A = this chain, B = another copy of it.
């Protein structure tokens, strides 16, 4: 099917919307992107959205396909593992994978601007400050309100909702017949805080790590920025004690940080300003189906918003784009075949990473401070080193192996957990783990698959 005279509208100029625009423009489509916000290239203020993200293999693979991986890697900071900070400021390091495997701390706005510029250079037209008020999935048309409140309706060959967790395109579909939908908030919100750079851009904490202050029912994390600063995120309950509801005075905030995160608190001179100025944002999991109605479809967070604890939200969205592009290859741009197949293939993976992301919050805020848990991970790492194809730890399957689907990773991890529960229950495991029969363990997984 010829693509040259086909017009595609994408709602949302965020990371997924602009990457998809680039992919489709390269296929020969005439792509228009409509974004509710202002052009972030002119206004970098993005209240309530996290400032940096962890880019990993799945995301990078898509960026490679559109020729951007190298440029992005240059401005990213490799994080080779987790650095845990206990109450006394003692540090424990846990590598994410094997030697040479790492995830990348990247600025959301830097990445987004690169994508928009590249898409624009490729012929995509961007329209900012445009609010989508209606989508007609029978006519494949969208109705838009301009900043001057001018309303107009435009028809396209394909309409894409890449407009995030609170998608306006999805909202229209939600009131159509038999649309399954759920939005589930967790008890915790998040607030962004700041550790400035030292003298001459020095890093006050280990640069090549993702820092975690695990405190069982909540946690703070910090990701490095190229200028030597760290962006901290406090994940904290909205209600209860302690919670955002109890930290209502400057005194209470300072006391809490000095007691709970003493090493970090010393590095946060603007703590009170940041805490009082930045919002406590909520964390939601959104699921829906169908993603596709005729030639209108949802992608990225609009189809499957997840909590951030696996660092996979953007990576999953980028993988969506890569897989859709591959299906358009396979089906010669027959969208009527490619779109249902896209949903069929991708929905179980989106559901799986949604569950894994929720589970990983418990791991990050609580388990990483547990010696047994760290030993378990050490044994799994050794299994992986000895039998790299037979035993791939869950984190590695999700983060470093784009050929394992999220849904497969989920299934395999359940079996691994069962096996490791048995291994960890063996008497004296703490002292004798190095003499385990690793071969037998790796093979027991193969038998279960």
Give the complex CA separation of A182 and B183 in angstroms: 6
Q: Does A180 contact B (CB under 8 A)?
A: yes
Chain B nearest CB, measured from A195 CB (Å) = 28
Chain B nearest CB, measured from A163 CB (Å) = 15
Give the complex CA separation of A240 and B270 in angstroms: 62
Number of interface residues of A (CB under 8 A): 13
B183 contacts A180, C-beta separation under 8 Å = yes
Give the complex CA separation of A182 and B282 in angstroms: 18
Chain B nearest CB, measured from A222 CB (Å) = 25
**In the complex, which residues 173-198 of chain A have their Cβ closer than 8 Å to any Cβ of chain B?**
174, 177-185
Give the complex CA separation of A179 and B185 in angstroms: 7
Residues of chain B with a CB closer than 8 A to A284's CB: 178
Chain B nearest CB, measured from A355 CB (Å) = 15
Main secondary structure of the interface of A (DSSP, over half): strand
Give the complex CA separation of A182 and B177 in angstroms: 15
Residues of chain B with a CB closer than 8 A to A178's CB: 185, 238, 282, 284
Number of copies: 2
Give the complex CA separation of A178 and B188 in angstroms: 10
A181 contacts B182, C-beta separation under 8 Å = yes
Chain B nearest CB, measured from A302 CB (Å) = 16
Give the complex CA separation of A177 and B185 in angstroms: 9
Chain B nearest CB, measured from A186 CB (Å) = 9
Give the complex CA separation of A70 and B238 in angstroms: 49
B182 contacts A182, C-beta separation under 8 Å = yes
B180 contacts A181, C-beta separation under 8 Å = no
Give the complex CA separation of A184 and B289 in angstroms: 9
A183 contacts B185, C-beta separation under 8 Å = no
Residues of chain B with a CB closer than 8 A to A180's CB: 183-185
Give the complex CA separation of A168 and B160 in angstroms: 27
Closest B residue to A186 by CB, please name it: B178
**In the complex, which residues 274-300 of chain A have their Cβ closer than 8 Å to any Cβ of chain B?**
282, 284
A183 contacts B181, C-beta separation under 8 Å = yes
Chain A positions within 8 Å of B, measured between CB atoms, are 174, 177-185, 238, 282, 284
- Between A and B, 11 residue pairs with Cβ closer than 8 Å are A174-B183, A178-B238, A178-B282, A178-B284, A179-B183, A180-B183, A180-B184, A180-B185, A181-B181, A181-B182, A182-B183
